Amino acid sequence: MKFGGTSVGNIDRIKNVAQIIKKSIKDGNKIIAVVSAMSGATNDLLKKANEISNNFSDEEHDLLLSTGEQVTSALLSGALIDLKIKSKTLMSWQIPIITQGGHKNSRIISVNTEKIKKFLDQKYVVVIPGFQGINENMNISTIGRGGSDATAVALAKCLNAQHCEIYTDVDGVFTTNPEMNIRAKKIDKISYDEMLEMASLGAKVMQSSSVQSAMLNEIEVYVKSSFKDVKGTKILNQNKISYEKVITGIAYTLDDSKITLQSVQDRPGVASSIFKPLYEKNIIVDMIVQNISADNLKTDVTFTVKRSDFNKTIDIMNNLKSNLNFEKLISNNKVSKLSVIGAGMITFPGVAYKMFDALSKKNINILAITTSEIKISVLIDEINIQDAVSTLHHVFDLD
Ligand code: ASP
Ligand code: MG
């Protein structure tokens, strides 16, 4: 059971989490509880580090940020003990949870389960701080923001858990962001692939790399509210879901920008010369669309980058101009990527048509289109996003 920052956001909430665990013990479960820092705590620590130095040591950064989870672990364990439940916090160096890679962004590579099992066998709840481990130098490491999800999934895998429960402040995964569309509904079951698309497109229920790791290891994940005792969302294998609807969810971004290079030469090596300098500057490129060249001489290339990289990208492209000989650079830094996601579309025809038709009836222009097996994404002007989301939500029967 993993409890996110808001679920342990104050003392009453921590006591409430202890009650949730107590109930699960009554149902006959052995439990490992993974906790996040209290909401806002990690950001507060980061702020302090920045006040000390804008070049704060990476090693000390990890040591500092790891304390947030240590606080909630001890408080939760204390709350359980107060309820006469045997409980023990194990810090990552006591277990140990071994990580690899640089500070701030390490990944868990192994968990020694011996001590954990020993306590579980003696009917203890084992409380473990999320988001951290120790590296080959025996230093404390952290595994990236939102990393407690990854800790929970890694533990579920190494201990062969029946499933992994992610407790949060919403009732589950929704068909779209309820703040954007009041008709959004909770999804009962969603496949790993669909959840991965939703998560990487901004459905902030779970860190997307931890969804990927659950998928690779086939760990069933249940997303639930820690505030309400209602059924949440199950994330599982596609073959365990019978699809009644073609589309499972609608996701969108609000931080994209689009760049088009018009009339670049159509010869081998051009695409690589465009994207190499972006790679060298660590800029992540998302949608890439190259037109078919009508005359075999010239073509257009369109791609999107995050808005925060927009200015840097424009500069890089302008520097390439003499080399690539394109005619014109067209850009728009207020675009949104809007995606309909659903494994049902693998066997169902006409999804693209239905989507484009609905958008056209609302007079919303499509700037670019990309697809995968279970997703169709279009780029539109951000100003249209609310209208587009509610239209598609309705058309695909999700209201
Ligand atoms: N406390 C960490 C963060 O805020 C890890 C987590 O909450 O999952 O990123
Ligand atoms: Mg979190």
pLDDT tens digits along 276-290: 999 999 999 999 999
Band (202; pLDDT cuts 50, 70, 90) = low
Cα of 6 vs centre of ligand 2, distance in Å, is 8
pTM: 0.88
- 159 pLDDT exceeds 90? yes
Nearest CA to ligand 1 atom 6: 146
C-alpha 340, offset from chain centre: 17
Cα of 75 vs centre of ligand 2, distance in Å, is 18
Ligand nearest to the CA of 144: 1
Work out the average pLDDT over 161-179.
94
Question: Which DSSP string do the residues of 345-364 spell out, in sequence order?
Answer: GGS-TTHHHHHHHHHHHTTP
Domain containing 79 equals 2-169
Q: Is residue 229 part of a domain?
A: no
The least confident of 5-9, 125-129, 204-208, 374-378 is: 204-208
Mutate to test the pocket of ligand 1, among 69, 145, 169 (most ligand atoms within 8 A of CB): 145
- The ligand 1 site (C-beta within 6 Å) comprises 5, 36-37, 42, 68, 130-131, 145-148
Work out the average pLDDT over 34-57.
97
**Total structural domains within the chain:** 2
Q: Is residue 163 part of a domain?
A: yes
Work out the average pLDDT over 130-147.
97
Work out the average pLDDT over 178-183.
92
Band (200; pLDDT cuts 50, 70, 90) = confident
Work out the average pLDDT over 68-84.
98
End-to-end CA distance of the chain: 31
**CATH (domain of 342):** 3.30.2130.10
Same domain, 35 and 151: yes
Predicted local confidence at residue 293, as pLDDT: 80
Q: Is residue 236 part of a domain?
A: no
Backbone angles phi, psi at 301, to 5 degrees: -125, 125
Predicted local confidence at residue 93, as pLDDT: 98
Contact 395, 181 (CB under 8 A): no
Q: Is residue 317 part of a domain?
A: yes
Work out the average pLDDT over 176-198.
94
Work out the average pLDDT over 240-263.
93
Cα of 217 vs centre of ligand 2, distance in Å, is 21
Predicted local confidence at residue 54, as pLDDT: 92
Which atom of ligand 1 is nearest to 149's Cα? Answer: 8
Predicted local confidence at residue 244, as pLDDT: 83
Cα of 66 vs centre of ligand 2, distance in Å, is 13
The residue among 108, 137, 169 that closes a domain is 169
**CATH (domain of 89):** 3.40.1160.10
Same domain, 50 and 164: yes
Contact 195, 209 (CB under 8 A): no
Average pLDDT, the chain: 95
pLDDT in tens, 309-352: 999 999 999 999 988 889 999 999 999 999 999 999 988 899 99
Tell me how far apart the alpha carbons of residues 321 and 303 are, in angstroms, rounded to a whole number. 16
Query: Given strand 97-100, what is the order of strands in its sheet?
Result: 107-111, 97-100, 132-134, 140-142
The residue among 134, 169, 204 that closes a domain is 169
Cα of 116 vs centre of ligand 2, distance in Å, is 23
Predicted local confidence at residue 199, as pLDDT: 84
- 142 pLDDT exceeds 90? yes
